Amino acid sequence: MTAKILKYPDSPEEIKWLMSQEKMLKEDLRKHETYDERVETRRELKKVRLELRTVLHSITWKDLKK
C-alpha cells in the first residue's frame, strides 16, 4: 500500500482566519441575550462555515484517486 500526498489548500492563512471567525461567532452566540442578536450571529456563522467548507473542499475526489 502506498501513501498518497494530498494537495494542501492554497491559502492556509485564510483557513486559519475563517476558523478563528467561526470560533468567535460560536462564543458570541452563547453570550447574546436577545433573539435578534442570536439570529444575526447565526446568519454570520452560516456564511463563515460556507466559506470555510468551500476552501477546504478544494481537494476533489479526482485528486484523491490519483
What's the pLDDT tens digit per position in 33-45?
Answer: 999 999 999 999 9
Enclosing domain of residue 26 = 12-55
Select the more confidently predicted residue: 49 or 63.
Answer: 49
Helix count (H) and strand count (E) of the chain?
A: 3, 0
3 part of a folded domain: no
Q: For the chain, how many structural domains are there in total?
A: 1
19 part of a folded domain: yes
CA–CA distances in Å: residue 52 to residues 2, 25, 31, 63: 30, 14, 23, 19
20 part of a folded domain: yes
24 part of a folded domain: yes
46 part of a folded domain: yes
7 part of a folded domain: no
Which three cell numbers mark 55? 476552501
64 part of a folded domain: no
37 part of a folded domain: yes
Which three cell numbers mark 45? 456563522
Predicted pLDDT at 35? 94
Instruction: Give one DSSP letter per residue of 17-51, joined into a string.
Output: HHHHHHHHHHHHHHH--SHHHHHHHHHHHHHHHHH
pTM score:
0.68
Q: Are 42 and 28 in contact (CB under 8 A)?
A: no
